[in-house]
């Protein structure tokens, strides 16, 4: 479509009947009217503000899930431990054929799950705690195979764990120093110490919650609460809100793709499936947004307004005047 040479409004409106229209008054009415509406909604309905989950809350409410997650961190089997970039290189991340943007920029937010979430906090807490110090020495001096054997046995036993006075008990077995380590970590967490340690991370002033959030995301407690609130990906969660409030309805198309083939299927089609849904949908939505911007240039899409008679309602006065004059 060749760009038109610039024409003035005088030329564009030549022969067009004009009538008074007060734009500033219209804006003033809009500001006032909108303000009244927003103020009334705010006063009557308030807004959603469910308090955040803390590691302390998690450890108190579901100690078995907490200990299981911490054990899995040491095993390297959690989401964050095997994530890959930008946190570590333990996983490949999502790709679609040769397209793998997750690998382009490397490990820019380094997170060592086992050390950051479990071992470092325990080392800090072992100050003045001889029993914990001994357990940590035993752990550090064991070889990889021994650690793996302890972890497997303990992890299996956790499947039948019981909780007494907020502490986790498992059947007798060969777990090495793990029960001491885990119950100490649980105690630190329940007292709020792990929230502090993972957030502060050795710096007094900071605003980065990466460590604490990744750790909580590895467990089942937070995601269980999210599922109850219909916030998870497979529940159209992106457009939902806590309570009875409207959510981000404008994300309807983005979240809709997560509910349909091929992104719900393990096999999918053309290399797109549930395994690389995030990447596939990012690419798809980028393409659709660009297409929306380019509607004026796209045949059929730019012609639909002419075919659908909605404009005849918007300009009904104009069309009926034209009909009268012909």
Partner 1 sequence: MSELDAAEGSWTLRVRRWVDRVLPMDNLLPHRQPYYVGSWVYVFGVITIAALAWVVVSGVVLSFMGPQWWHASSLGRFFNSLHFWSVQLFFIFMVLHLWGQYFMAGWRDGRAATWMIGVVIFGTSILTAFTGYLSQQNFDSQFIAINAKDAMNAGGIGAFFNVLNFGQMYGLHVMLLPIGVTFLVVVHIVMVRARGVVKPIGREGGSPS
Partner 2 sequence: MDTPAQYFDWSFIHISYPNLLVIGLMLVLFAVALVAPFPHGGDGDV
Q: Quick count: other Cβ atoms within 10 Å of Cβ 162?
A: 10
At 243, give phi and psi (nearest 5°).
65, -155
Q: Which residues in 182-195 are b (16+ Cβ under 10 Å) and which e?
A: bbbbbbbbbeebbb
Interactions with partner 2, residue window 9-28 (CB under 8 A): 17-22
- Kindly identify the residues of this chain, within the stretch 196-255, that bind partner 2 according to CB under 8 A: 228-230, 235-236, 239-247, 249
Q: How far apart are CA 171 and CA 66, in angstroms?
A: 18
Name residues contacting partner 2, limited to 42-61 (CB under 8 A): 45-46, 48, 50
4 lies in the site for partner 2, by CB under 8 A: no
Residue linked to tokens 């064991």: 142
Query: What is residue 163's three-state secondary structure?
Result: strand
* Residue among 190, 184, 218, 193 at smallest CA distance from 111: 218
236 binds partner 1 (CB under 8 A): no
Q: Residue 260 interacts with partner 2 (CB under 8 A)?
A: yes
For tokens 């467990």, the residue is: 219
Q: Which of 101, 133, 220, 268 binds partner 1 (CB under 8 A)?
A: 101
**Tokens at 90, concatenated:** 């333990």
Q: 70, 158, 198, 231: which one contacts partner 1 (CB under 8 A)?
A: 231
Name the binder of 231 from partner 1, partner 2, none, CB < 5-8 A by kind. partner 1
Closest CA to 132 of 149, 119, 142: 119
**Min separation Cβ 71 and partner 1, Å:** 20
**Contact (Cβ atoms closer than 8 angstroms) between residue 220 and residue 171:** no
> CB 254 → partner 2: shortest distance, Å?
14
Pick the piece of the chain touching partner 2 (CB under 8 A) from 69-77, 193-201, 291-299, 308-316.
Answer: 308-316
Which range of residues in 149-157, 160-168, 265-273, 277-285 is near partner 1 by CB under 8 A?
A: 277-285
Contact letters (x/-) for partner 2, 91-120, by CB under 8 A?
Answer: ------------------------------
Contact partner, 163, from partner 2, partner 1, none, Cβ < 5-8 Å per class: none
Rg of the chain over Cα atoms, rounded to whole angstroms, equals 29
Q: How far apart are CA 236 and CA 251, in angstroms?
A: 9
Which of partner 1, partner 2, none has residue 187 at its interface (CB below 5 to 8 Å by kind)?
Answer: none
Binding stretches for partner 2 (CB under 8 A) = 17-22, 45-46, 48, 50, 228-230, 235-236, 239-247, 249, 259-260, 310, 313-314
């Amino acid at each position: 479509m060749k760009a038109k040479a610039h024409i003035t409004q005088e030329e564009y409106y030549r022969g067009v009947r004009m009538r008074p229209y007060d734009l500033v008054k219209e804006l003033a009415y809009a500001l006032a009217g909108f303000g009244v509406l927003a103020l009334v909604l705010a006063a009557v309905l308030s807004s959603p503000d469910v308090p955040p989950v803390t590691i302390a809350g998690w450890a108190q409410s579901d100690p078995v899930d907490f200990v299981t997650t911490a054990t899995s961190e040491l095993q390297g089997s959690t989401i964050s431990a095997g994530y890959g970039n930008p946190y570590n290189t333990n996983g490949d991340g999502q790709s679609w054929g040769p397209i793998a943007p997750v690998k382009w920029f490397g490990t820019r937010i380094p997170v060592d799950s086992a050390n950051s979430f479990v071992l470092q906090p325990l080392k800090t807490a072992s100050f003045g705690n001889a029993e914990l110090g001994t357990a940590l020495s035993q752990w550090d001096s064991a070889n990889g195979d021994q650690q793996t054997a302890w972890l497997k046995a303990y992890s299996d036993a956790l499947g039948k764990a019981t909780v007494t006075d907020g502490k986790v008990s498992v059947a007798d077995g060969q777990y090495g120093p793990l029960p001491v380590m885990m119950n100490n970590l649980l105690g630190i967490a329940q007292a709020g110490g792990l929230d502090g340690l993972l957030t502060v991370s050795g710096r007094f002033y900071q605003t980065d919650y990466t460590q604490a959030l990744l750790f909580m995301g590895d467990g089942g407690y937070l995601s269980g609460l999210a599922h109850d609130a219909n916030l998870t990906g497979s529940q159209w969660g992106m457009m939902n809100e806590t309570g009875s409030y409207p959510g981000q309805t404008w994300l309807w198309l983005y979240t809709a793709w997560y509910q349909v083939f091929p992104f719900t299927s393990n096999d999918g089609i053309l290399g797109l499936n549930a395994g690389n849904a995030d990447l596939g949908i990012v690419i798809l939505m980028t393409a659709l947004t660009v297409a929306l911007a380019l509607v004026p240039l796209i045949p059929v899409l730019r012609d639909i307004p002419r075919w659908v008679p909605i404009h005849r309602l918007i300009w009904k006065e104009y069309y009926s005047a034209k009909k009268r004059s012909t």
